[in-house]
Chain A
Amino acid sequence: MTRANEITRRTFLSRGAVAGGAVVLGGAAGGLLTGCSSSTSTTSTTSSGGKPGVGSGPPVRGGTLTVGTIAEIDGFYPPNNHWDTNGFLYANAIYDPLMAIAADGTIVPYLAQSMTPNSTYDAWTLTLRPNVKFNDGSALTSAVVKANFDALKSSLLAGPALAQITGVTVPDGMTIVYQLEAPNPYFPAGLTTQVGYVVGEAMIKQVQSGTANATPVGTGPFVYSSWQPNDHFTATRNPNYWRSGLPYLDQITFKPIPDTTQREATLRTGGVDMIISSDANTIVNFQGQSGYQLVDSRTGVLGEPTVACLMLNMVTPPTNDLTIRQALAKSLNVTVLQKLFGAGFAKPLDGIFLPGSPYYGNTGYPGYDPSAARQLVAAYKAKHGTPSLELLTVTDPYLAKVVQVVQQMWNQVGFNVSVNEIQQANLITDFVTGEFQAATLAQFGAINPDLNYVWWSTTTISPIGSIGLNFTRMDDPVIEQAMLTGRHTTDQATRVKAYQTVNDQLAQQLPYLWLNQYLFSEVAQDRVQNFDNATLPSGKPQYSFQEGIFWPAQIWLAG
């Protein structure tokens, strides 16, 4: 269902780099109606009857795992490149993050040995794990982490994500102290994202000296071997990996295969051992299929899901008028959209959180009510004339069908809606400069709601035409205050109330018209073992499958 759009599926500002919420622009299409998120579900069984993605029997060393991915990335350098699902897949092969997410949702050390706050939570001390070396033989030290931070801070892309950090000091060779502008008990969550991946100093120096294609230097389980964009990325086993006995594989190769059908066909013909998909039909096609293991994100979301939605500009007429946004929401029959395009899995949302999340609540998000929408449009029309707006999307056959249905729904209540299909890069530019009225989008998916601050903060609003990460230009002091409260408090009840307030306020202000979760899946041949069963250095179970991202160190191939 989302085949064609996947060629343009890229994140603009990666989850990690900026906020922790993925912006899957082209994939807004895919997101639309195919479900979503970051979680793990074991909805099918292997032919041998075991749990999908969980290894059976003793690990086997050796072999090459070939993975078919959704799209290509733009590079390996965290400060400058835009990592989406594919970017993190590559990164998990050759780098390690400072912090990681445990299966219970807690944020735990990875390259770090410990991370502790001061009593006021406005300074965090991170102690590095000893005896960790990069693949070039250099040691992981606090100076290297500081160099990474400096490169990130000076980056247009990643800099805003680090705005709350006022300084970084390195009291000794293994300790880094982050000074924050205000208390943040949840600060470590940010280091699970793109800004938390550490590259070797040699790579930073290469980039800073103007070397265009700096060779990745990391501490990860595999070592960069070759990358031919749009063809393959190959990494070979790191013989000196700091996690003893790992990885099991000799080599891992990622092959971007943008067309979902072809990616699935390649898996069936043995061209790859495993595929990643953001197309709900992949679940339909492989669920219960003998010889394959399917893991998908229909259940078990940690944090919030990636959400497919329609984004509205809150300063440009007519969508700057709340009644217009309400009319747009009330005229949108999401149930019909799901029936037409949802593959039977996607479920309508009324907010950014799913049932089961502590922050989930009845938001009062407007339901389908076309007569009320007509009245609102009529009232607007009496004052300002027929509300006309342009719905932006990326050039994509699937999205074209979806937005046509949306256009009809909106036109039926009195809007004059035109659809404009533009290229991905243009859409990104229009988002950051605020030059749109309505647009398709898939975004969020953060483990911690605080990571959305940059998208909704009043501090990241720019005038139309200037770059600002608050795409909708939503200037809402209630949300700003609630986000800051959620960031600063250690009291869970206060935090829950803060993010419920945010969720409620989003439903009231309607910068986004929620559609559904964005659904990721992994399908592997039976011989691929343990791809959804990673453990942390401490031995604790890891959050193994987030947004289609897996951790390759503990995967092995059965004979």
Chain B
Amino acid sequence: MGKYFLRRSIQLVVVAFIISILAFLLVHLLPGDPSVTILGPNDTAQNRAILLKQLGLNKPLWQQYTTWLTAVFHGNLGQSYLNHESVVHILATGFPIDLELIVISQIIAFAVAIPLALFTSRRPNRPVDNVATTGTFGLLALPPFVIAPILVAVFAVGLNWFPATGFVPLTQDPWANLQHMILPSVAITFGSIAVYYRLLRSDLISTLQQDFITMARSKGLSNRRIMWRHAFRPSTFSLLAAAGVNIGGLIAGTFIVEYLFALSGIGFSLVQAVNQRDYLVVQGISLVVALAYVILQFIVDFLFTVVDPRVSRG
């Protein structure tokens, strides 16, 4: 186990190092003078001086990299040359929104998908299973930009249960925060529900045909105990892998929902920065998002060992 984590940790550091180089080179792969490209119409003497100082563009490339990396380690990821907002501030304000969207949407997704899969896997091809399977097909076909306006029309404008747009920080008003985050979270959760349900159902059906399940049944264990204690855990491998990829994709990947619900999350900021050629913001956010993704996969790898200790033995 120890060796496994040591090996994975070393891999994590190597990947992080490669990511940092790629993120650094992002600016330098731009055609022409990076300072001209970065600043664009904002190429004022003031901005140019700040940029040169920050990036050390007159130094050799490796020195620029070390300068940049040192700044990153000191929490300086640069600033927007459109509104001078620091990238760290953009991340600090945007990350809680993304985090909440991910957490709430995944809680909903697991809360719906797992019990449904446990139920239908015991009775495959029955009416409930057929409805659930067909329904999840439908959910997969409904992108968030279709679901979101429907949710707003019904639950915000029609029933007035939730606000249509906006964000209230959790620290400011937890209840208002939850009210604001429900609809956007629900809008992105449908796809997750469909994927999680289908994967878990399929794996559970397979697991339920294993000999150890037959043995458990022959011992007279209750269905509930069989499902939760014996069938569920070995069936979560695909679910875990899919959740890792899915949650990773949601980090800065919820742009559409953030746009529709006027949430200034990381995804919205990143797409805006790309649209406006705000390269240092793109660079900073890309670095952090990539690192977050890698760390998330590291955590998923750890969870694999919990589900199945044989993983750590190679």
Contacts and interface: CB of A to CB of B under 8 A. Distances in A.
Interface of A: 7-8, 12, 68, 72-75, 80, 155-157, 207-208, 210, 212-213, 228-231, 255-259, 261-263, 265-266, 268-269, 271, 395, 423-426, 428-429, 432
Contact of A156 (B44, B160, B167, B261): B44
Nearest 7 A/B pairs, CB to CB? A212-B84, A230-B264, A265-B164, A425-B277, A257-B262, A231-B264, A266-B164
Nearest to A231: B264
Given A75-B84, A231-B262, 17 more contacts: A7-B259, A80-B44, A156-B41, A157-B41, A210-B49, A229-B85, A229-B264, A230-B272, A257-B165, A265-B156, A265-B157, A265-B165, A266-B163, A266-B262, A269-B164, A425-B276, A429-B41
B159 to A, nearest CB: 10
A256 B263 CA distance: 9
Given A268-B157, A425-B277, A429-B40, A262 B165 contact: yes
Contacts, number: 110
B93 A207 contact: no
B269 A230 contact: yes
B277 A423 contact: yes
7 contacts: A8-B275, A75-B82, A231-B93, A255-B262, A265-B152, A423-B276, A423-B277
Contact of B157 (A212, A231, A269): A269
A212 B79 CA distance: 9
Interface string B68-101: 0000000000010011111000100100000000
A269 B156 CA distance: 6
A281 to B, nearest CB: 13
Contact of B46 (A208, A429, A432): A208
Contact of A271 (B44, B86, B153, B165): B165
A213 B41 contact: no
Nearest to B53: A210
Nearest to A71: B272
Given A12-B41, A75-B84, A231 B167 contact: yes
B259 A259 contact: yes
A255 B166 CA distance: 8
Contacts of B232: none
B76 to A, nearest CB: 12
Nearest to B49: A210
B42 interface: yes
A505 B264 CA distance: 46
A266 B277 contact: no
Contacts of B277: 423, 425-426
A210 B264 contact: no
B149 interface: yes
A516 B169 CA distance: 42
Among B40, B49, B84, B157, residue most surrounded by chain A Cβ atoms (within 10 Å): B84
Nearest to A213: B84
Contacts of A74: 82-83
B18 interface: no
